[in-house]
Chains A and B, each alone.
Chain A
Amino acid sequence: MEILLNGKKMEIPEKATIGELLALHKLAPVRVAVERNGEIVRRADFYTVRLAPQDQIEVVTLVGGG
């Protein structure tokens, strides 16, 4: 199914969880925060929330800044 991940279209397995999406991209859950359709998904829910077609997902992390 197709989702929008950080503004880019992407094919992922049907009913994948947020946790599985992160694993696909080798991202450590403890180092990211995730928004699904504008709502924050708590880290504790990464492996229970299943994605749906056309979901808009934002995955952010901390970077250098001032």
Chain B
Amino acid sequence: MMDKQLKIGPYTLSSRLIVGTGKYATLELMQQCHAASKSNCVTVAVRRERLVDKNSGRNILDFIDPKKYILLPNTAGCFTADEVVRVARLGRELLDGSGYQGAQWVKLECLGDTKTLLPEPLGTLEALKILVADGFHVLVYCSDDVMLCKRIKEAGAAAVMPAGSPIGSGQGVLNPNAIRIILEELKHNDPAYPIIVDAGVGTASDVAAAMEIGVDGVLLNTAIAGAQDPVKMAQAMALATEAGRLAGTAGRIPRKLYATASSPWEGRING
């Protein structure tokens, strides 16, 4: 049976994996990893154009096919609501008329400090309200606090994206029960509301585990870009996303303390 496609704001994703474009040794390697990940949505950051050293200036977009990928501009590296709003608007301007899909949405990231890179909840909510009023479909990176996630949904976020663990830490989903409660609370009477685990993934089993819990998708970057064989890891992430989604929707058996035999008891020759 065909799975329902994930829809966030005006965009429909063909895969439940969203991947980053940062930290790759080369742009060619990034391109190969994107292909292996089977994702059709990649997130990009907004930065000052380098005005010197333009000879090496290959643009990342030369390695992202506008026919295959939707771009998700992000506000990575912002620490206040004002910075977030400014960068989001510049991202929209970059995408508008660029030939790429993605001008209508943004991944909101408002960080608290440079050491933990944990999301700053008050700035996040403040920026969210401004961006929603400005017509953006906002995907909100946030901590796995259930009440905060509720407030973010109420403020009009197109998707809530709780962190599994700190950005780039590779610790996986540290508090799966918090994610479970977020899913229950936010999907109550609204089962299609998108919840994405964003950040902290270390390896494929983290993705599979998150998908089994029932999140709608996973966003990751470092787990692929930082792997020893990034292309192989990207392929693993594609399989894990699919396996986790299938297992999560297949209805697993309950956990029991004691064994239940798989072979029939009757007819044993020594019986």
A contacts, CB < 8 Å to B: 5-8, 25-28, 30-33, 35, 40, 42-43, 58-66
Q: Is B98 an interface residue (CB 8 A)?
A: yes
Is the Cβ of B61 less than 8 Å from the Cβ of A66?
no
Inter-chain contact B98/A59, CB cutoff 8 Å: no
Across the interface, do A65 and B49 meet the contact criterion of CB distance under 8 Å?
A: no
Q: Given the interface contacts A6-B49, A40-B90, does A66 sit within 8 Å of B21 by beta carbon?
A: yes
**Contact yes or no, A64 B24, CB < 8 A:** yes
Number of A-B residue pairs at CB separation under 8 A: 104
| A62 CA to B59 CA, complexed, in Å | 8
The answer to the question of B68 belonging to the interface, with a C-beta cut-off of 8 Å to chain A, is no
Chain B interface size, as a band, is: 35 or more
A66 touching B54, Cβ below 8 Å: no
Give the CA-CA distance A57 to B90 in the complex, in Å: 13
Q: Is the CB of A65 within 8 A of B43?
A: yes
In the bound complex, what is the Cα–Cα distance between A65 and B24 (angstroms)? Answer: 10
Extra 12 A-B pairs, beta carbons < 8 Å, given A8-B51, A62-B59, A64-B30? A5-B51, A27-B49, A30-B97, A31-B59, A35-B90, A61-B47, A62-B94, A63-B45, A64-B21, A65-B76, A66-B22, A66-B221
Inter-chain contact B54/A60, CB cutoff 8 Å:
no
User: Are B61 and A31 neighbours in the complex by a CB distance under 8 Å?
Assistant: yes
Contacts A30-B97, A32-B94; is A65 near B44 (CB within 8 Å)?
yes
Known contacts A25-B54, A30-B98; decide if A66 and B49 are in contact (CB<8 Å). Answer: no
Taking CB as reference atom, which chain B residue is nearest A31?
B59
Enumerate the 6 nearest inter-chain pairs by beta-carbon distance, A residue then B residue, closest first: A66-B221, A65-B45, A66-B20, A33-B93, A64-B21, A64-B22
Among the listed B45, B48, B91, which residue makes an inter-chain contact with A58, where contact means beta carbons less than 8 Å apart?
Answer: B48
Contact call B46/A60, Cβ cutoff below 8 A: yes
Give the contacting residue for A40; candidates B44, B93, B225; CB below 8 A: B93
* Contact among A31, A58, A66 with B76 in the assembled complex (CB-CB below 8 Å): A66
A8 proximity list for chain B (CB < 8 A)? 51
In the complex, per-residue mask of B32-74: 1 if CB is within 8 Å of any chain A CB, else 0 = 0000000000011111110100100001110000000001011
